[in-house]
Amino acid sequence: MKKLGIYIHIPFCRQKCNYCDFYSMKWNDGSEKKYIEALANEIKTQSKELKGNYVADTIYFGGGTPTIIKHDNIKRIIDCIRDAVEVDKCAEISMEANPNTLTLENLNAYKDMGINRLSIGIQSLNDEILRQIGRIHNSADALGAINRALESGFENINADVMFNIPGQNVCDIEEAITKIISRGVKHISFYSLKLEKGTSMYNMEKINKIIMPDEESEREMYYAGRKIMERNNMFQYEISNFSNMGYECRHNLKYWKQEEYVGFGPSAHSFINSIRYSNPPDLKSYCENGLINNYERTIHEKLSEQDRMFEYIMLSLRLTEGLNLDEFNNKFDISFEKTFKAQTESMLKNLLMEYSGRNVRLTKKGMDISNYVIEKFLP
Ligand SMILES: C[S@@+](CC[C@H](N)C(=O)[O-])C[C@H]1O[C@@H](n2cnc3c(N)ncnc32)[C@H](O)[C@@H]1O
Ligand code: SF4
């Protein structure tokens, strides 16, 4: 049977953060009820394709804020998944969490239902920055959430940390990462703030109400964070992800290795049999169709061999281990070395790429300008 990742999108938050354009809206009890019914139906509908063909070895609850909904409903969704497809007994089951919705009661219930990895949105430990970006928690709440998670027996914990925030400096980053690591967190997703169109911070920048850090300060914050993580045995395994050995996120690795996954809920994506599906980001129609048991993934695109190949190169080069030549050559039945000779040679000459055994990967310098390098492999 083939391996499969499962993504469940929970499109609710208590309040929208000023930088975020993930598909989510304000939570209420009525919407949660309707949504869970529709979600259960979508999973049931897919079971025909999945049962007997796949075994799920990762499940990921993302959002939005999955911890905002009742833990009984999370349990119900896990039960639906188990009815629809075989779940590996060692599956990684992750849950994204906002510090202020991570109660002890929730944590104990998650543990009992088999959730074994938490990803907590810490973002910063500077109260002024947290307020400015519209978070519903302060630094004490953030550290409290990590402590509660550890007390409840979770040891596989990720913290999301953001840099490049207006007003933030290198000391903020160093202090936050040092404190987070000293608590025993094993994984950090270290994101550079990107102003997304339509968000309040995007609009504020347009009218000069906020000023983004310049490129040099952005890099300084990145290097400062990376240095502390590396000194503490947190290895970079992807452009934005660092972890202790063995704590890499198995679910996210599936995206970067072009493995199969199926996503449920509005705005969720799937990649299965070389076809990319996406559910429209529309909760209302999702619930209406889902409640009459008639949910269809409306957007799909069969990737051409060339698209698949470019995507594979782009995703593999995000990983510090890079692209394995034998895997590539087997998968696409062509020689990477011959097909991309010109591009690779120029990157090697400019010290942006390097060979490591049968892998070709970006150097630290290459990682810094990964978009430029990846573009050179475009069809
Ligand atoms: C779905 S949220 C995580 C869980 C939860 N909703 C929370 O925020 O606590 C995903 C993560 O993406 C990152 N993120 C969201 N928007 C971003 C942006 N515009 N630029 C950089 N990182 C962003 C944040 O670090 C956030 O924690
Ligand atoms: S960052 Fe997280 S909590 Fe904030 S709006 Fe986005 S999904 Fe919701």
> Sorting pLDDT into bands at 50, 70 and 90, what band is 203?
very high
CB 101, CB 67: distance < 8 Å: yes
Residue 296 is predicted with a pLDDT of 61
Ligand 2 centroid from CA 352, angstroms: 34
Assess whether the C-beta atom of 213 lies below 6 angstroms from ligand 1: no
- In this structure, which amino acid lies at residue 202? Y
Assess whether the C-beta atom of 20 lies below 6 angstroms from ligand 2: yes
Which residue has 């905002």 as its token pair? 68
Average pLDDT in the 106-134 region? 98
Query: Which numbered atom of ligand 2 lies nearest the CA of 123?
Result: 1
**What is the share, in percent, of the chain residues with pLDDT greater than 70?**
98
Assess whether the C-beta atom of 22 lies below 6 angstroms from ligand 1: yes
| Structure confidence by residue, pLDDT tens digits, 56-99 | 999 999 999 999 999 999 999 999 999 999 999 999 999 999 99
Ligand 1 centroid from CA 198, angstroms: 15
- Closest to 121 (Cα-Cα) out of 175, 178, 66: 66
Ligand at minimal distance from the CA of 163 is 1
Assess whether the C-beta atom of 14 lies below 6 angstroms from ligand 1: no
CB 312, CB 258: distance < 8 Å: yes
Ligand at minimal distance from the CA of 135 is 2
> Sorting pLDDT into bands at 50, 70 and 90, what band is 12?
very high
Ligand at minimal distance from the CA of 64 is 2
- Closest to 147 (Cα-Cα) out of 157, 137, 138: 157
Assess whether the C-beta atom of 66 lies below 6 angstroms from ligand 2: no
Tokens of 64: 């939005």
Q: What does the DSSP 8-state code read for residue 100?
A: G
Residue 276 is predicted with a pLDDT of 87
| Structure confidence by residue, pLDDT tens digits, 315-348 | 999 999 999 999 999 999 999 999 999 999 999 9
- CB count, 10 Å around CB of 22? 16
Assess whether the C-beta atom of 327 lies below 6 angstroms from ligand 1: no
Assess whether the C-beta atom of 136 lies below 6 angstroms from ligand 2: no
- Determine if residue 293 is left, alpha or beta; phi over 0 gives left, psi from -120 to 50 gives alpha, anything else beta: left
Assess whether the C-beta atom of 64 lies below 6 angstroms from ligand 2: yes
- In this structure, which amino acid lies at residue 151? E
| Structure confidence by residue, pLDDT tens digits, 276-311 | 888 889 999 899 887 665 556 666 778 888 989 999
Q: In the chain, what are the domains?
A: 2-256 (3.20.20.70), 305-375 (1.10.10.920)
Nearby residues of 367 by Cβ (< 8 Å), 6 or more positions away = 236, 239, 320
pTM above 0.85, yes or no: yes
- β-pairing, 359-362 vs 323-324, is antiparallel
Ligand 1 centroid from CA 262, angstroms: 21
Backbone angles phi, psi at 63, to 5 degrees: -165, -150
Assess whether the C-beta atom of 201 lies below 6 angstroms from ligand 2: no
- Closest to 85 (Cα-Cα) out of 115, 42, 48, 41: 48
Tokens of 239: 């452009």
Nearby residues of 302 by Cβ (< 8 Å), 6 or more positions away = 274, 275
Average pLDDT in the 241-264 region? 96
Ligand 2 centroid from CA 17, angstroms: 5
Q: What does the DSSP 8-state code read for residue 248?
A: S
Assess whether the C-beta atom of 66 lies below 6 angstroms from ligand 1: no
User: 356: which strand partners?
Assistant: 359
Ligand 1 centroid from CA 307, angstroms: 28
| Structure confidence by residue, pLDDT tens digits, 342-351 | 999 999 999 9
Residue 105 has pLDDT above 80, yes or no: yes
Residue 300 is predicted with a pLDDT of 75
Assess whether the C-beta atom of 322 lies below 6 angstroms from ligand 1: no
CA distance 320 to 309: 19
> Sorting pLDDT into bands at 50, 70 and 90, what band is 260?
very high
Q: Which of 16, 26, 129, 196 has most ligand 2 atoms within 8 Å of CB, for mutation?
A: 16
**What is the share, in percent, of the chain residues with pLDDT greater than 90?**
89
Q: What is the mean pLDDT of the chain?
A: 94
